[in-house]
Structure formats: C-alpha cells, structure tokens
Homo-oligomer: A and B are copies of this chain.
Amino acid sequence: MGDARKKPNPASSSSGETLIEGRRPLRCIVKLGGAAITRKNELESINEESLGSVCAQLREAMASSSIGSASPPPRGISMDWSRRSGDRILPVSVDDFGEHSAVDFDNNFVIVHGAGSFGHFQASTSGVHKGGLHLPLVKAGFVATRISVTSLNLEIVRALAREGIPSVGMSPFACGWSTQKRNVASADAAQIIHSLSAGFVPVLHGDAVLDHLQGCTILSGDVIIRHLAQLLMPKYVVFLTDVLGVYDRPPSDPNAILLREIVVDEDGSWSVLKPTLEQLKKEVEITVAAHDTTGGMETKISEAAVIARLGIDVYITKAGTEHSLIALKGQVDNDTEDWLGTVIRSSKHAPLSA
C-alpha cells in the first residue's frame, strides 16, 4: 500500500499511452450499464433491486480469491453512515471494526457506470454532446447533466459502501478528463492509482466534460473504460447490462441469437466465433438502441474490441445473474456452454476453438 504514492509518477496521458510501474496489477474494470441499474424510461429512477444485487455480487467476487469459494462471504459492515441510510444512523460502534474484522479481499477493481435515465434527458434536450458552451441552453444543460449524473454516482457509491466496499466517487469532469472532438484528450489517472493503492475502489461515470474543439461534450462510460484499460491493463473487463450479451439483432426479437464469442484480429476487425456462421445461417446485424445518445451495442463492440486487442478478455453479460457473478470473479470457462454471455477476446490470445 502507498507505493505508487511515494513515487509521484502520474499516469497522466495525452491520449492513451503509458502505464504505471510498481503497483499491484488491477484485477478488473467493471461497467455498470445504465440500463442495468436505472429504469431507463423513468426520469432519474434507480433500479434498486438490480443495483443491490450487483453490489452484493461485486462484494462476493472481491472476497473470492482466484481459487473461488463455494459459499458467499458474510456481508460487510456498512460504510454508508448517512442519515438517509435509515435506521442505523451511525451503525458504528468502534468494536465493529477490530483490526482484523474486515475480510481481506481483493478489491483491486475500478467501477465505471453509465447514466441510464440520469443525465440523458438533460444532455439531449440541450445538445451538450454537440458542444457550444457560449449558448446559454448548452451551458445550462451541462450544469443540469452533471447534477443528474453525479447524483446517480453518489447513490451507487452509497450502495457499494452499504455492502462494505470502500468506494470513492471520482467524477471525470472534476478529475480533469477532457476531450478533443469527443476523443479523450487528457485523463489524469494518477488519483485513480493512488486510490487503488490506498485500498479504495474508484467509481467513475459517464459525464459532461470540456472539449478542446467544440467546447463541451458527453464522455461515455464505455470510452472511459477503453482509456482506463489501456492505462491500467486489468486482467479482465466486465460489462453488465440488462440483456445476456450481444445479439445478432435486437434482443427483443424472438429469433435473436446470443453471440457467445467474438474474436478481434490484430488489425482491429472482429468476427463471431461462436455460434458459427452455419449456426447463425445469416449475416450478423447489430443492434443500436435509438434512445442511447452515447451509442448502443455497436459502440460497445468497438470499444470492447480495442480492449480485447490488448490481450484483455471482455465479458458482456446480464447484471444480477449467475453469469454476472462468474464474470466478475473472472472465472468464465470458454469450453462450457453453461455460461451465458458474450466473450470478446484477441485472436492472438484466444484458445483455438474447434
């Protein structure tokens, strides 16, 4: 602990290079999809049940070593001591926290969440993603969007803390993330690394940010994850969403087929390995949800492909299922048919499939 802090070696980057030496390797970056944790069609409404189950699974995954334990660990002692947390206003008797009472778990995770029904309305009404901060409507929309997404961030940090996960909110705008024509132009990961070294779990989110060319834009959680994966080289990346993974057509279509494995070539092109083209019997047609201002599945696959090319496995699956727990533990077995989700990996690193 504290190693990275003693050597001030900020992982500052002007667009995606470098990586910090001498720190604990990052285990996992998790995306909590907006669709999984909010009610997408109800303004600023959290899907409490889904969020609660995601947080419980995260805790379980952090407590499981790579060997994996059969029974879930005891629930942690809440780190949310706020009045709104209900009956246990200050749940703390100092005795609750002996020197050794905390399960010593591997919480070397970074969490990034989407906006769902937070922020999207404000951003799309005002056109924040198109820039133009000199326009009063855009400036107001920028402020309104940040209020909305940071209030979601606070609730997610609280939900994680209630599970005993030492979560710390880190808002990308405030941390100095900025873009140039919607590509990440600067992102200071030093504080993320310091937080990890101190044993905390940074929680970032899609945000309204300053853009060097157009004034401002929306930086999506998916782009943040791609950038952090390049900087921090986690062992694996998990996208939790409201469907089982990537389908060949809109998942609402009864004939939609789950794409189980996608491989990415060194040139960045990708193809579906499972099911085989014969099984699919047709061209793959990827869904793009029209209401999603930051791009739907196609964006997700492109972003995931960039990550996979680095040799990092990407798992996309449904939040709050047995499959998401396996993904969060990093225990997806390529040869089993039981795990339902989409694996995206590099063709170079992928085991040869028959």
Which residues of A are interface residues toward B (Cβ below 8 A)?
A: 1-2, 5-6, 8, 43-45, 77, 79-84, 89-90, 92, 94, 96-99, 101-102, 121-122, 125-126, 133-137, 139-144, 146-148, 150-151, 154, 157-158, 161, 164, 166-171, 173-176, 178, 186, 188, 190-191, 194-195, 198-200, 210, 212, 215-216
Contacts and interface: CB of A to CB of B under 8 A. Distances in A.
A122 B83 CA distance: 11
26 contacts: A1-B133, A1-B134, A2-B215, A5-B210, A43-B83, A43-B89, A79-B140, A79-B143, A80-B143, A90-B121, A90-B122, A92-B137, A94-B125, A96-B137, A99-B136, A140-B164, A143-B161, A143-B167, A150-B154, A150-B157, A150-B169, A170-B171, A170-B174, A175-B176, A188-B188, A198-B216
**Shortest beta-carbon contacts, A-B, top 4:** A97-B137, A81-B144, A79-B143, A176-B191
Given A140-B164, A178-B194, 19 more contacts: A2-B215, A5-B178, A5-B212, A79-B140, A79-B143, A82-B147, A82-B148, A82-B151, A92-B125, A97-B140, A133-B198, A133-B199, A146-B157, A150-B154, A170-B171, A176-B190, A176-B191, A188-B188, A198-B215
A22 B171 CA distance: 27
A66 to B, nearest CB: 23
Given A79-B144, A97-B135, A97-B136, A168 B173 contact: yes
B147 A80 contact: yes
A98 B136 contact: yes
A63 to B, nearest CB: 14
B147 A166 contact: no
B126 A92 contact: yes
A198 B2 CA distance: 35
Contacts of A186: 8
A121 B82 CA distance: 10
A133 B200 CA distance: 10
B146 A199 contact: no
Contacts of A98: 136
A77 B188 contact: no
A75 to B, nearest CB: 14
Contacts of A1: 133-134
Contacts of A150: 154, 157, 169
Nearest to A117: B83
B166 A139 contact: yes
B174 A191 contact: yes
A143 B169 CA distance: 9
A122 B210 CA distance: 34
